[in-house]
Amino acid sequence: MFSKKHKVDISLPQHIAIIMDGNGRWAKKRKLPRSAGHVAGAKNFKTIARYCNKIGLKYLTVYAFSTENWKRPQEEVNGIMNLLRDYLKDAENFKDENIRVRFIGNIEPLADDIKELIHKNEEMSKDATGLNLNIAINYGGRDEITNAVKNIVKSGIREADIDESVISQNLYTKDMPDPDFIIRPSGEYRLSNYLIWQSAYAEFWFSDVLWPDFTPKHLDKAIEEYNKRNRRFGGV
Ligand code: FPP
């Protein structure tokens, strides 16, 4: 069960997806450069991922860099890429955490050394049986669906054989359960091109807290709230 004080009657969603928003504002409030907000955000990402693994969550997907984030100043983009690089290099040190790491998104335009590190990390952790951690990098839901359509057309499948599962199987998240619960801190109430196909029946949780300030306690609270939702999937 997820934390001692909650014991019996709280059940975990199978898949939580988080939009790690508010790093820039967190930094601004402290009169720090935006890059400092991303540093704090990356640190918190590790804390929350470890916590999710500890409580027995099966899938966590985090939005680290979107297809639209290239529009940010070059310096900020480089800063985020460097944080990703550091995280990937450091991964050897937490091999024994039993977390399986995968990347979703189009990694093609990333620097060669980052791509290599990504492959190495995916390979190194592929037999882990704990948390499945997906990091969305250069990810966009529309880009993902466009890419799926191209693959489907290329495969030569007959129109009559195309159904929802064919589309799902051509997304980056193939073979993974859809997110049940999407969390967006920082006071914004939108999906920002995140998992737009997969979130069809997801529950949402929003909060004003900025991502670097989002603690395991906030996550506990969100999961508690999730447990009160009545999911009907279009039924009654
Ligand atoms: C959104 O906050 C955050 C991002 C676009 C980047 C998120 C990246 C990290 C948390 C670091 C990733 C690192 C690893 C290791 C996965 P914002 O900058 O839009 O904040 P604002 O809305 O307050 O300006």
Domains of the chain in start order, with CATH, are 14-145+177-207 (3.40.1180.10)
Q: What percent of the chain has pLDDT above 90?
A: 90
Query: What is the pLDDT averaged over residues 155-183?
Result: 98
Q: Take atom 13 of ligand 1 and give the residue whose Cα is closest.
A: 42
Q: In ligand 1, which atom is closest to the CA atom of 26?
A: 23
Quote the pLDDT of residue 225: 96
Active site residues: 21, 69
Quote the pLDDT of residue 95: 82
Between the alpha carbon of residue 59 and those of residues 13, 49, 67, 131, 145, the distances in Å are: 9, 10, 22, 6, 21
The response to whether residue 40 sits with its C-beta less than 6 Å from ligand 1 reads: no
Average pLDDT, the chain: 95
Q: Take atom 6 of ligand 1 and give the residue whose Cα is closest.
A: 64
pLDDT bracket for residue 174 (50, 70, 90): very high
What distance in angstroms lies between residue 70's CA and the mean position of ligand 1's atoms?
Answer: 12
Tens digit of each residue's pLDDT (9 = 90 or more) over 196-231: 999 999 999 999 999 999 999 999 999 999 999 987
What distance in angstroms lies between residue 183's CA and the mean position of ligand 1's atoms?
Answer: 14
pLDDT bracket for residue 1 (50, 70, 90): very low
The response to whether residue 192 sits with its C-beta less than 6 Å from ligand 1 reads: no
Quote the pLDDT of residue 221: 97
Report the predicted TM-score, pTM, of the whole model to 2 decimal places: 0.94
The residue ranking higher by pLDDT, 17 or 4, is 17
Q: Take atom 5 of ligand 1 and give the residue whose Cα is closest.
A: 65
The response to whether residue 2 sits with its C-beta less than 6 Å from ligand 1 reads: no
The response to whether residue 48 sits with its C-beta less than 6 Å from ligand 1 reads: no
Q: Take atom 2 of ligand 1 and give the residue whose Cα is closest.
A: 21
